[in-house]
Structure 1
């Protein structure tokens, strides 16, 4: 008899987990508090990012964060507040921002990103899907020598890790991106990366899952979890009670609210990011990051997306016009002919990325609950790590050999 699995959360992690579990013959139910057509999984930059092997918590980020804290349009904005979970997370973040811990995190982050990219390509090559996927790499644009040197130092680490990385002059960039009319000094070019159009993939994946027997309960909130003998015996939503052999927690920034019901604390803070869709022809063909501004630029199917900023300010979907304007201004600073209309800025979206203190996701079973598998805390790599997290969770639940070592991602790890 197939196992009955309930997945809490219907973002990229949740739907990819449902995909691999139904392939294993499991009966799968997905619960999501939204209509599953908005949020971080739909408005992100769509990057598959082996290049992003350095975690957010790095030496010097605390100093920058304190300076940026007083500027609501800065790339990394932390709203000070007297909240015990936020204060504990901040302390753990500070402890994680050391050279030793960053060096230890590089290999597991790179390994999981590379496998994630391979699995997207496997999905693309099946007869099940026809989503937009391009592997054109990622250009890290810089406007100052100082930032260029910093980016190249990271690039050299990438080369040591086996990635193909080049340091290009402005003239060399113009040869591969000839019509974008750039105002830069140069770029570090990662050939390893790919990009997609997230909302199109999400629609396609959800449609596939519905056709293949996965049940979706949309616009439902998990109110409680009933525990018996160290296991979740029932999931109580605002509309029903569900039984499950195994439960997967993939609720993103809302995950700590649910784990508290189990007496389990996983430090996560919501990191809000914004995106603007530009429908006019920007002549941009290769994804890029505008380094000084920390803005991502992605040529998607029918539009160009400008996305960025990290705003640690609790769970809310309030749009801050200053942060939207900062993204638009950054775009116009790097692309001389770029025009972003007032309407495009007014229709900007945001999403909440679940950020762990050390920049590593939580994947695996906690010792505090036998039939719960946790899959959250992916921060800015959530899109990149959707399929690989789903595959790993299916392997954990099916008691199969894991595709890679996940010790670094243990939900019970100490900070």
Structure 2
């Protein structure tokens, strides 16, 4: 028998959860505090990334972050602040950034990314949607031999894990992108990856869900929950009280605020990223990451997006022009004839990516409640992992065997 499910959060994770729950015959209501037309699910690079099997919490990342702390143009920027939740997160990150833990995370990260790609392709081939999706792979451009060697070490590990990866010379790169006028030494090419136009898919998914009976409540914030005997009975917004059998917490960077109402300690920090759209021909045809600058470049449906930076400065949507300029300058240094105008930079958007200390998302039931499923903390892979997470959430609530082993994503894990 179908259950009455409340999904808190209307980003890519929440919408995909609603989609697969509805397919299993559940009654679904999605609640979001925003108008559901902006934020991380709309301004991201649109990557589906089996190539991203190395956790963000890798050895040396924290020391890089500390080194870059006072450089607002750096790829990773940590705003110095005395905040107890942030300090707890940093300590947990430090404990997670070990070779042993990174090694243990490779298989679960790769498996869930591959499942995400498979499900996107299933959706594309269905008669339900007509969204932009291309599988052209991902080029990891580098300017220095040192970074090229580091990227190829990861690439070789990808080959061991079953991915098709090539190390390309400057000449070989030029043959793939003959009109882009690149200024690079070479690239590591992951054939496994795909890309999309995020706002295109999000709009289609919202229309589809509404058409199929999913209730979507925009501009409503969850202010409280009614709990009895380890069970959430009602979700309370500013305007209504909603009875429920099950609750899915998929509120991204806002998940800790809600989880505190439930007495849960979800370690998540918002990692702000920025994107600039160029609504003109750039001669860029294959998605790429500019490795030294950590900038992502995606040819989307009608425009090219330049996205990047990871900024830990709390929950805010302030666009920092210094960060935007850093993306623009880096892009021009890799593409010789590319110039991003001040008008284009002025239109830059930002989004908050929910980051866990170990780089693995939280997906699964928490032991503290009988009817609460957590689905958040996907960091830079939220777009890639949307359908996979949604399917796993649906499997959990429908009480059927999950598509993957989800133990690594246990929301009760201790750091």
**Distance apart, 1:280 and its partner CA:** 1.5
Q: Distance in 1 between matches of 2:34 and 2:62?
A: 34
Write the mapping of 1:12-411 to structure 2, written as runs, cut at 5 A: 12-411=12-411
Task: Kindly report structure 1 stretches of 4+ aligned residues shifted beyond 3 Å.
Answer: none
Task: Compute the TM-score of the two structures, normalised by the length of structure 1.
Answer: 0.99
Q: Distance in 1 between matches of 2:64 and 2:410?
A: 29
**Distance apart, 1:3 and its partner CA:** 1.1
Q: Distance in 1 between matches of 2:157 and 2:270?
A: 29
Q: Distance in 2 between matches of 1:359 and 1:281?
A: 35
Q: Distance in 2 between matches of 1:73 and 1:177?
A: 28
1:198-257 alpha-carbon deviations (Å, 9 max, x no partner): 000000000000000000110000001111010011111011110100000000000011
Segments of structure 1 that go 5 or more residues without pairing to the other structure are: none
**Distance apart, 1:2 and its partner CA:** 2.5
SS in 1 for 2:414: coil
**Distance apart, 1:74 and its partner CA:** 0.6
1:3 equivalent in alignment to 2:13 = no
Q: Distance in 2 between matches of 1:366 and 1:326?
A: 40
1:265-323 alpha-carbon deviations (Å, 9 max, x no partner): 11000000000000110000000000000000000000000000000111000000000
SS in 2 for 1:247: strand
Segments of structure 2 that go 5 or more residues without pairing to the other structure are: none
SS in 2 for 1:115: helix
**Distance apart, 1:63 and its partner CA:** 1.5
Q: RMSD in angstroms over aligned alpha carbons?
A: 0.5
